[in-house]
Copies of this chain bind each other. A is one copy, B any other.
Amino acid sequence: MVPTVLDTTTISAVDTRIAAVPGFRAAAVSAGIRKSGRLDMALIAADGPCAAAGVFTTNCVRAAPVLLDIAHLKQNPAGIRAVVVNSGVANACTGQRGVEDAAETARLVAGALGCAAQDVFVMSTGVIGVTLPMEKIGAGVGMLAAGLEPDGWAGASRAIMTTDTMTKTAAVRVTTPGGVYTVAGIAKGSGMIAPYMATMLAVIATDAAIDAPGLQTALSAANGVSFNQIVVDGDMSTNDTVIALASGASGVNVQTGADREAFGAALTAVCTALARDIVLDGEGVTKFITLHVTGAPDAASARQVAMTIATSPLVKTAFFGCDANWGRILAAAGRAGVAVNPDRLDLWFAAGEAPEDAGLQLVASGTPTDYREQDAAAIMQEKAITVRLDLGLGDAVSTVWTCDLSHDYVSINGDYRS
């Protein structure tokens, strides 16, 4: 996360606080949706219409707000004014009633802000199969609209949490010859799995000027190397949504060329910081694993092998137990559905977050090297560990950030309602 310089443009290091993003205000309230009385609704509002982009869960079972947002993004990609979020209830598996409730939520926000319903995105996270308490939502929207402040982001980042144990915010400032702009975002998610499918949500705001198709391209690219690169346990949610809004308030046009490149880098830095925070705050996580699969015949195969290893309970429990049980990694690779050649597999472990070419080699050509067990054991004691598996079949690579599988994970997900 060191500053990056692209010719005359400077991108700051990621700041985990968001002071403000010109052109946006935010608010958070306790609307009584969650029993605990904690913050449970947030509103991000733009002073004028924004270019918008979104990426959504690919689960066939999608929550009503996801369906609404996809429709609004299609109808109105250049005129979005607000994102409203509630925690506590996911509004998923709620049928036609859920669809109507999501639409009504958008209408309520539009009424309070003086815009059209299709200018509003709605996000929900929490219990599946429960309908939104619309009276509380209505009262909450009124309070949110009255409480909007330029520095309201911190409250919003708290209001969208479910089992998260920490807020997830990130901002970078980009200084260009044409001016300065900010890219900032908030996210929630404690792994892809959480009680009642509390899921991954993120809202990213910038005052850079870019049109909606450009923003979508940049967001999809950033998403591919950030949120799509993390896995806690492979359970994909019904509500995953990442929204980006560009107000243009900075007057810095990032539509093309080096400015576009810098904007993409800044957006990627923010998405990456938020994505990593989600793994670090994963349910019961004790280890942060960087997994490089290299030497794959193509990118899809590399990702498939990486995801199979990253979701293997056998591999994840070995990391929890600080056990350098590399046979489990090779066995997971072997069942990934890719034509792996066992005689070409090379494996390295390294402490911390290491590049692809570092570490202790445990396996060469499919059989163990003469590494010393205590060297492998020392690496396994680290909080952050890098694993590299080379398939010896080509040049494609995939990197995934993942975590271990611990007793606390079972407790959080097994004992939640009892």
Do A317 and B414 touch (CB < 8 A)?
yes
- Binary per-residue interface labels of chain A (89-114) against chain B in the complex, 1 for a CB within 8 Å, 0 otherwise: 01011110110000000000000000
Cross-chain contact B129 with A323 (CB below 8 angstroms): no
B320 close to A62 (CB less than 8 A): no
**Interface presence of A4 (CB below 8 A):** no
CB-based contact A328/B235 at 8 Å: yes
Closest partner residue, chain B, to A128 (CB atom): B327
Q: Would you call A2 an interface residue if the criterion is a C-beta within 8 Å of the partner chain's C-beta atoms? A: no
Asked if A321 and B235 sit within 8 Å, CB to CB, the answer is no
Interface size range on A against B: 35 or more
> Across the two chains, which residue of chain B brings its CB closest to A96?
B367
Distance (Å) between the CB of A60 and the closest chain B CB? 4
A413 within 8 A of B: yes
- Residue A220 interfacial (CB < 8 Å): no
Name the residue on B nearest A368 (C-beta).
B129
State the Cβ distance, A193 to closest chain B Cβ, in Å.
4
A91 to chain B, nearest CB (A): 11
Q: Contact mask A128-139 → B, CB, 8 Å, 1/0?
A: 110000000000
Tell me, yes or no, whether A28 is within 8 Å of chain B by CB.
no
CA distance A299 to B62 in the complex (A): 24
Contact B410 A320 (CB under 8 A): yes
A94 vs B338: C-alpha distance when bound (angstroms): 21
The answer to whether A318 touches B235, judged by C-beta atoms less than 8 angstroms apart, is no
Q: Identify 16 residue pairs between A and B in the complex whose beta-carbon atoms are under 8 Å apart, listed by A's number.
A: A61-B345, A94-B367, A95-B365, A128-B331, A196-B327, A197-B327, A235-B332, A235-B335, A236-B331, A236-B334, A238-B334, A313-B409, A321-B415, A323-B416, A405-B410, A407-B411
Hey, which bits of chain A sit against chain B, CB under 8 A?
58-62, 90, 92-95, 97-98, 127-129, 193, 195-197, 233-238, 312-314, 317-318, 320-323, 325-328, 330-335, 338-343, 345, 363, 365-368, 404-407, 409-411, 413-418
